[in-house]
Amino acid sequence: MIKTFLFISVLGFSLTGCVAVPILAMQHGQPTQTLNNAAYDKQTQSRLRVYSQYANVNTYTNTSCNEWSSKKIKNYFNSVMTSLPNTETISVGMPATKDSQSILKTPQKGWGPKLTFKEVILEANKPVVLDARRVETTARYTCQVAVSFTPEAGNDYEAWYSENNDTCSIKFNKITENKTDNLYSTQDFDNISMCK
């Protein structure tokens, strides 16, 4: 099992409501895009773009729901650290969509978390688990969700954490081969399973 994290240096916390929001710096520019020229074989691999802002979405490759559940992180320190949002956009060359292009071209001003994305290359036909959590200032979970899906070779996906009232979810899109003005369209992807 490979667990993918993007570690960040935390300078402080600002309390907004009941949720701890990390303050990293006053930023006026766009998120940094770091190109990782990893080899990609569309015959045996797939790619996933994960969007983050107030909650970080963690990716566990070659992991089933049962395997994820048996190794869930209960430690308070790890729970807080893995819930902190990313501060840097990382690309491995996935097709641009309206959402990814918007992040790269739109300045995100002010304090607090910035909307970023991270792309990863996945082994096709092997289960992948994504989880996300929001943590209260008291270190109790406000919301935690985990889902599993099996990527197909040559396909590209997008995922993001979503909240609606008192519930949270991880939503998916599949990137299609249709494009307009060099931006690829997406379609809903719901072939996922909830992990307990």
Read off the pLDDT of residues 149-171 as tens digits, 9 standing for 90 and up: 999 999 999 999 888 877 889 99
CA distance 133 to 20: 12
Domain boundaries, the chain: 2-194
CA distance 141 to 133: 7
When mean pLDDT is compared across 28-32, 68-72, 139-143, the lowest value belongs to: 28-32
% of the chain beyond a pLDDT of 90: 39
**Global confidence as pTM:** 0.76
Phi, psi of 57 (to 5 degrees): -100, 120
CA distance 58 to 100: 18
E strands, 29-182, in order: 33-35, 45-52, 57-61, 89-91, 116-123, 128-135, 141-149, 156-164, 167-180
Label residue 18 by pLDDT band (50, 70, 90). very low
Label residue 90 by pLDDT band (50, 70, 90). confident
> 10 Å Cβ neighbour count for 194?
11
